[in-house]
Amino acid sequence: MTKAQTTWATNWATDWTWARVWAWGVTPVPVVDMTKFVALAVALAVALAVALAVALAVALAVALAVALAVALAVGVARAVAWPVAWAGDKLQESFSKVHTFLILASTSSLGLGLGWLGYRIFNTGL
C-alpha cells in the first residue's frame, strides 16, 4: 500500500470509530430498530384482512345456503299443495260430516295415546 492509501484507510477507520462512539454514547435518544414494529404492523394488517375476508366469505355462504333452502322449501310446498288440495276436494265430495269428524277425532286420539306411551317408555325419571 502506498502512503496515501494507508493514510486514507487510517482516517476512515478513525472517523468511523468516532462516529459509532458518538452515535452510541452521546445520542440522548437510543437508536431504535423499526423493523420489528413494521413487521408487527404488517402482520396485524394481514391478519385483519384475512379475518375480514373469511368473515365475508362465511356470511355470503350462509346467505346463499339460506336462499337456496327457502327456494327449495317453496318449490316443495307448491308441488305438494296442489295435489293435496285436489285430493281434499275429492274427499269432501265422498265423505259426510260424520265421517270427517270420526277421522279427525280418531287421528287426534291416536296421536295423544302414542305421545303418552312414548312419555311412559322414554321418561326414566332423571
Q: Evaluate whether residue 58 is within a structural domain.
A: yes
Number of structural domains the chain divides into: 2
CA distance 28 to 23: 9
- Regarding whether 99 and 67 lie in a shared domain, the answer is no
Domain that holds residue 120: 95-126
Supply the pLDDT for residue 9. 55
- Regarding whether 103 and 75 lie in a shared domain, the answer is no
DSSP 13: H
pLDDT confidence of 57, banded at 50, 70, 90? very high
- Regarding whether 76 and 48 lie in a shared domain, the answer is yes
Summarize pLDDT for 78-119 with one digit per residue, the tens. Answer: 888 888 888 877 777 788 888 888 888 999 999 999 999 999
- Regarding whether 36 and 72 lie in a shared domain, the answer is yes
